Chains A and B, each alone.
Chain A
Amino acid sequence: MNILVCIKQVPDMESKFNVNGEGSWYDSADLAWRMNEYDEYAVEQAVQLKEQAGGDLTVLCIGPERVKETMKKALAMGCDRGVHVADDDSFKKDPFSIASIIAEHAKVKSYDVIFTGMQSQDRGSAQVGVLAAETLGIPSVTTIVGFVFEGGKITVKRELEGGVKAVVKLPVPALVTCQLGLNTPRYPTLPNIMKAKKKEMLTVPVAELLKTSAVQETKTIYFPEKKGGGLILEGDIGELADKLIKILKDKTAVLA
């Protein structure tokens, strides 16, 4: 079994964001970086599949030098090798370009199963996985919350709205995009972190894999206007509690 998992490095969403000089993206300075949450489930499922079926598991990530830190976590979780597509401008690339890069890499590797997150936490397009699968001409299922590989076939649970799931079966090769709660991502252990340092990490310049051009561009990025008259309370905890109780008494009937 030959498996690929595609991951993205994103800022911690609790960060204080600033707009970059061009007004085209958030400023990358002073941010704490981590693995896109949805991709953690993708990595875990890929590792579980490899443990079950044997074979080789590649983790691919597009971005500047710093994304290697996030790739090391994936290696420590159990991926066998890393492909770092070096691109300082990855933040500008649209979903179509990112998907094209992945497809260009994957088309000669004959992966049986490709895992991605269902979306990234920063851009949130929820397109890359599907676009890569369509480009490769393989079936794909989005937003999976259950994954079983048996008898050469994949059975997944696809999350719909209101707590309903669709059970679908598909042949390999296939691509699935992973949703929150698919599994419980493991914490890399210290010995595995040490082992990960010795694993292969291949760097490929993005120019080698990018054969398409963008189909969209960011015009501006900005902070939304603060709507509504929401009150912000800060300060000493005891006083905050008294203030809140007074508000609840005045504005709601729940403390009557």
Chain B
Amino acid sequence: MQGGVYDLIAFANKVGAESAMFLVGSDGELPKYEGTVYLADVAACGEYNPDVHKQLLLEIIAKVKPDMVIFCHSSYGWDLAPRVANALKAGQVSEVVDFVDGLPVVPVCNSKLRRKVAVTTATTVLTLQAGAFSLADDPTGTPTVEKISAGGTGRIEFAGYEYAEKGGVDLTKAAVIVSAGRGIGKPENIAIVAGLAKALKGEYGASRPVVDAEWAEHNRQVGTTGQTVSPKLYVACGISGAIQHLAGMKKSEFIVAINTDKDAPIGEVADVLVVADLKQFIPVLTEKIEAM
């Protein structure tokens, strides 16, 4: 089961809505849910095809006539939601983190600001930020299943999956992770971060831009499109704290951030934010730790 199903149920509960679910899956693996699940067979349409999935969903929407259509803000949701919104002439609000006074709230500018949005169309389409809504109790219930099937093939042809290379360092096993962000400025400065990691007997990790620039290998990337880690200590060096990075490390036991920007969103999850230039601060810190 793809993560997020229970986020959707939690949201429906929070707004006190009656709900029905559209699911691409199989009979053998249904969510615990009290309601109707419109089930499209994973064998027939498990490979995401936007045209086909849009059509399936629009047929159900025509039947159920919902006020709100909600998706997870995932590669599936952010792709499909605008297609459905456009077909329904509905306003869409993306990456909802809260729902206040009947209105969705979304992050702006890398979470530095929040925005409350009012949709002016009859139907509202929302995508929910991963983890923003969760069930207080374990899910219960057995859904009523109604099978649906897709016609047509769509204009986009699926040609297979590619998986990240396995091997190399396994960050999930490290007790201490010191991660380098774009704030390191240049590839040579990985050494500064790696030096602190070594002094703390840990491993070094990285944010996505550092990996994209090939300053660190992909298996060191922390975040939604990298590793999810929960070490005893996580030190974020020159990392702003984008939601996709936080998702991969916020469960760490103790979080230290080193950043020149006092307002960097990493401060939201950090136990300690050291406001300093990492290039000056880390070598001093490393030396003191090594001297202990």
Given contacts A126-B78, A127-B92, A26 and B113 within 8 Å (CB-CB): yes
Chain B residues with Cβ below 8 Å from A216 are: 91-93, 117-121
A227 CB within 8 Å of chain B:
yes
Q: State whether B159 touches A167 (Cβ < 8 A).
A: yes
Q: State whether A215 touches B90 (Cβ < 8 A).
A: yes
Chain A residues with Cβ below 8 Å from B68 are: none
> Whole-angstrom distance between the alpha carbons of A135 and B86 in the complex?
8
Chain B residues with Cβ below 8 Å from A158 are: 75
A53 CB within 8 Å of chain B:
no
Chain A residues with Cβ below 8 Å from B118 are: 216-219
Of A74-82, A186-194, A241-249, the one with at least 4 CB within 8 A of chain B = A241-249
Q: State whether A215 touches B91 (Cβ < 8 A).
A: yes
Chain B residues with Cβ below 8 Å from A233 are: 272-275
Chain B residues with Cβ below 8 Å from A135 are: 86
Q: State whether A17 touches B275 (Cβ < 8 A).
A: no
CB 8 Å contact bits of B123-151 with A (1 = contact, 0 = none): 00000000000000000000000000000
Chain B residues with Cβ below 8 Å from A155 are: 159
Q: State whether B157 touches A215 (Cβ < 8 A).
A: no
> Whole-angstrom distance between the alpha carbons of A214 and B117 in the complex?
12
> Whole-angstrom distance between the alpha carbons of A95 and B86 in the complex?
11
> Whole-angstrom distance between the alpha carbons of A26 and B110 in the complex?
13
Which residue from B73, B176, B218 sits with its C-beta under 8 Å from A163?
B218
* Nearest Cβ on chain B to A238's Cβ, whole angstroms: 6
Which residue from B79, B201, B269, B280 sits with its C-beta under 8 Å from A228?
B269
A160 CB within 8 Å of chain B:
yes
Of A55-63, A104-112, A139-147, A197-205, the one with at least 4 CB within 8 A of chain B = A139-147
> Whole-angstrom distance between the alpha carbons of A229 and B162 in the complex?
42
Which residue from A142, A157, A214 sits with its C-beta under 8 Å from B120?
A214
A1 CB within 8 Å of chain B:
no
Q: State whether A161 touches B224 (Cβ < 8 A).
A: yes
> Whole-angstrom distance between the alpha carbons of A112 and B71 in the complex?
31
* Nearest Cβ on chain B to A249's Cβ, whole angstroms: 9
Chain A residues with Cβ below 8 Å from B109 are: 11, 13, 17, 26, 121-122
> Whole-angstrom distance between the alpha carbons of A241 and B120 in the complex?
53
Which residue from A14, A217, A230 sits with its C-beta under 8 Å from B271?
A230
Chain B residues with Cβ below 8 Å from A21 are: none
Q: State whether A252 touches B233 (Cβ < 8 A).
A: yes
Chain A residues with Cβ below 8 Å from B270 are: 230
A181 CB within 8 Å of chain B:
yes
Q: State whether A142 touches B226 (Cβ < 8 A).
A: no
Interface size on A, residues (CB 8 A): 80
Q: State whether B275 touches A234 (Cβ < 8 A).
A: yes
| Most chain B CB atoms below 10 A, which of A119, A164, A244 | A244
Chain A residues with Cβ below 8 Å from B81 are: 127
B44 CB within 8 Å of chain A:
no
* Nearest Cβ on chain A to B245's Cβ, whole angstroms: 12
Of B11-19, B22-30, B55-63, B281-289, the one with at least 4 CB within 8 A of chain A = B281-289
> Whole-angstrom distance between the alpha carbons of A184 and B240 in the complex?
21
B34 CB within 8 Å of chain A:
no
> Whole-angstrom distance between the alpha carbons of A244 and B256 in the complex?
9
Chain B residues with Cβ below 8 Å from A254 are: 175-176, 200-202, 232-233
A232 CB within 8 Å of chain B:
yes
Q: State whether A215 touches B208 (Cβ < 8 A).
A: no
Q: State whether B272 touches A247 (Cβ < 8 A).
A: yes
B164 CB within 8 Å of chain A:
yes
Which residue from A122, A130, A241 sits with its C-beta under 8 Å from B281?
A241
Of A44-52, A64-72, A168-176, the one with at least 4 CB within 8 A of chain B = A168-176
Q: State whether A241 touches B78 (Cβ < 8 A).
A: no
> Whole-angstrom distance between the alpha carbons of A221 and B268 in the complex?
18
CB 8 Å contact bits of B203-225 with A (1 = contact, 0 = none): 00000110111000010000011
Which residue from B108, B155, B263, B285 sits with its C-beta under 8 Å from A122?
B108
Chain A residues with Cβ below 8 Å from B176 are: 254
A207 CB within 8 Å of chain B:
no
Given contacts A14-B240, A17-B109, A139 and B212 within 8 Å (CB-CB): no
Q: State whether B82 touches A127 (Cβ < 8 A).
A: yes
Q: State whether A13 touches B240 (Cβ < 8 A).
A: yes
The closest CB in chain B to the CB of A162 belongs to B225
* Nearest Cβ on chain A to B275's Cβ, whole angstroms: 5
Chain B residues with Cβ below 8 Å from A161 are: 74-75, 224-225
The closest CB in chain A to the CB of B107 belongs to A124
Q: State whether B225 touches A170 (Cβ < 8 A).
A: no
In the A-B complex, list the 3 residue pairs whose CB atoms are closest, starting with the nearest: A163-B164, A181-B212, A215-B91
Task: List, sorted by A's number, 7 A–B pairs whose CB atoms are closer than 8 Å.
Answer: A17-B112, A124-B108, A221-B114, A224-B114, A233-B274, A234-B275, A241-B288
A-B contacts besides A17-B109, A163-B163, A166-B161, 6 pairs, CB < 8 Å: A13-B112, A131-B86, A166-B162, A222-B116, A224-B114, A245-B292
